[in-house]
């Protein structure tokens, strides 16, 4: 029997054409992944989020996780640090070290990374309003260890627009905040080329109640604002864009989440190429971190949260994330215990090394449902972006309260669905266990706040206060000019000025943001 001349060619020409339209992993528009091999050549970074109490306590947790196979650090800061208050400020009372680690000065940063080589580890810092200060502290800490500034690798969240929209740890008005962010872009493009200058975050937008479409739409509206601000400063888009990164949530609807991540990559590539005329392919690559959804975790039957986290983590991997944090089962009740944090890390490791799903690049590529859903999400996001554009951009949409109200309305609708049992949540409105036992939770030592305040008092007594005053005065002068503020903030940090002192200096000129009521 003679061999057909068509052997080796596709039998279904329409399907072949569809594959051509779909594109290849690692090539524009990157729908199928930003690297051609994805996890076949390198796993995603397993970056567990940690931070509580003082720097020494968090340092122990960091080293514990690294010893157990974590491949990157991710730092949570307490509310006073995020809001620009020192631990001894009356506004900080009762909040020191509660939602993250307390960092008042370079002394704390040095303790936080004691015995951790910053020239070798990549660190993400979830910090926004005070991001310039914490970045300066991290840089100074690394350099004191002997690392060069250009060696340091990691990310600061530095996404202030989503704070006005969803999370509320803002300090300054939007215009002044945007100046600081652009200063960071410019500074890092010269001094810290391997540092991701921003992690433009949809995570908190979605956790506040937004839909998948709104998560992408409002994130990209913010991203457009950041890029335009940098371009207006005169920065070359191909110089700073490769240092931009994103942060998304993975929710429970696994197929919708996969399509969301694929749509996000394609849309970002188009925006950078067509709107901002980027030429460097790296400027068009959407690199993103994913965290599983805290809002999906329940205080009822907390063991079930391990299953929820696993499903969400698989969505992130199937969607092509570059790094991942998996939540712990007890986070609806407290900060995670050491044991639950380890289980969360092991969840990633089992997916990465046992499941086999990382052996295939874009496993859902070509699926009719996934491709059609990807197209639909992209189209709906574009419609939102056009509406925000007509309003004058993300800052105008924030100042008017539009974005905040859209998120609140979606959150309310979701709440109504759960209340009416139209959406079932196991253990909450269905399959309830009346005899459920209480689980052990992490308890903060109340003495940690007293210890932190005492350490800060000692620092004020022993540092060179004349040098601190001179550095803060120089920063105060610079903020009234068009100079880049980062060198002045770095100088203040290096002489052990505190987060609160630097923030207060900026507040004197920049003022504070007062939100508009949207309800």
Compute the 3-state secondary structure of the chain and give helix, strand, coil in percent, each to the nearest 5: 55, 10, 35
Domains and CATH numbers, the chain: 24-419 (3.20.20.240)
> How many whole angstroms separate alpha carbon 238 and alpha carbon 191?
16
Residues in the chain: 519
3, pLDDT greater than 70: no
CA distance 50 to 62: 7
The pLDDT assigned to 14 comes to: 47
For residue 18, pLDDT over 60 is answered with no
Indicate the burial class of 299 (C-beta count within 10 angstroms; 0-12, 13-18, 19 or more). middle
Specify the pTM.
Answer: 0.89
Does residue 516 surpass a pLDDT of 50?
Answer: yes
pLDDT in tens, 251-265: 999 999 999 999 999
Encoding tokens for residue 326?
């998996």
**What is the pLDDT confidence band of residue 21, given thresholds at 50, 70 and 90?**
low
Q: Which residues contact 49 (CB under 8 A, 6 or more apart)?
A: 74, 75, 76, 126, 291, 325
Confidence grade of residue 17 (pLDDT, cut at 50, 70, 90): very low
Q: Is 500 helix (H, G, I), strand (E, B) or coil?
A: helix
- Nearest Cα to Cα of residue 513 among 116, 128, 34: 128
**Cis (ω within 30 of 0) for the bond into 449?**
no
Give the pLDDT mean for 185-208. 95
Count H helices and E strands in the chain, helices first.
21, 9
């Amino acid at each position: 029997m003679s061999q057909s001349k068509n052997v080796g060619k596709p039998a279904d020409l329409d399907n072949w054409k569809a594959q051509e339209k779909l594109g290849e992993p690692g090539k524009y528009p990157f729908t199928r992944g930003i690297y051609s091999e994805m996890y076949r050549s390198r796993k995603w970074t397993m970056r567990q989020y940690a931070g509580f109490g003082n720097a020494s306590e968090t340092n122990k947790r960091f080293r514990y996780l690294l010893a157990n196979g974590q491949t990157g650090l991710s730092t949570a800061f307490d509310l006073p640090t995020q809001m620009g208050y020192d631990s001894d400020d009356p506004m900080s009372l009762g909040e020191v070290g509660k939602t993250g680690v307390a960092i008042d000065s370079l002394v704390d940063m040095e303790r936080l990374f004691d015995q951790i080589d910053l020239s070798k580890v990549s660190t993400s810092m979830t910090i926004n309003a005070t991001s310039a200060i914490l970045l300066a502290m991290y840089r100074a800490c690394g350099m004191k260890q002997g690392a060069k500034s250009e060696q340091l690798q990691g990310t600061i969240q530095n996404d202030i627009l989503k704070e006005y929209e969803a999370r509320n740890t803002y300090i300054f008005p939007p215009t002044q905040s945007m100046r600081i962010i652009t200063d960071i872009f410019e500074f890092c493009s010269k001094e810290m080329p391997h540092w991701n200058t921003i992690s433009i975050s949809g995570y908190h937008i979605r956790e506040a109640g937004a839909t998948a479409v709104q998560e992408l739409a409002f994130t990209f509206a913010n991203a457009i604002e950041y890029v335009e601000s940098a371009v207006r400063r005169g920065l070359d888009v191909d110089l700073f864009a490769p240092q931009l990164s994103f942060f998304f949530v993975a929710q429970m609807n696994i197929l919708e989440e996969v399509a969301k991540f694929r749509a996000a990559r394609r849309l970002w590539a188009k925006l950078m190429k067509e709107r901002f005329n980027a030429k460097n392919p790296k400027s068009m690559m959407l690199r993103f971190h994913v965290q599983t959804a805290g809002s999906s975790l329940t205080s009822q039957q907390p063991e079930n949260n391990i299953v929820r986290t696993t499903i969400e983590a698989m969505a992130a991997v199937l969607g092509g994330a570059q790094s991942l944090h998996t939540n712990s089962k007890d986070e609806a009740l407290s900060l995670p215990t050491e044991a639950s944090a380890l289980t969360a890390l092991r969840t990633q490791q089992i997916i990465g090394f046992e499941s086999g799903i990382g052996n295939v690049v874009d496993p859902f590529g070509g699926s009719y449902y996934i491709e059609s859903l990807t197209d639909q999400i992209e189209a709906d996001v574009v419609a939102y972006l056009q509406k925000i554009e007509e309003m004058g951009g993300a800052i105008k949409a924030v100042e008017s309260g539009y974005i905040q109200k859209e998120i609140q309305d979606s959150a309310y609708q979701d709440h109504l669905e759960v209340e009416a049992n139209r959406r079932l949540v196991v253990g909450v409105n269905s399959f309830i266990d009346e005899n459920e036992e209480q689980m052990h939770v992490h308890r903060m030592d109340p003495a940690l706040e007293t210890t932190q305040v005492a350490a800060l008092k000692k620092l004020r007594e022993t540092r060179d206060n004349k040098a601190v005053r001179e550095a803060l005065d120089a920063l105060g002068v610079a903020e009234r000019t068009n100079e880049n503020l980062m060198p002045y903030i770095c100088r203040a940090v290096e002489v052990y000025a505190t987060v609160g002192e630097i923030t207060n200096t900026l507040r004197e000129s920049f003022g504070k943001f007062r939100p508009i009521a949207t309800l």
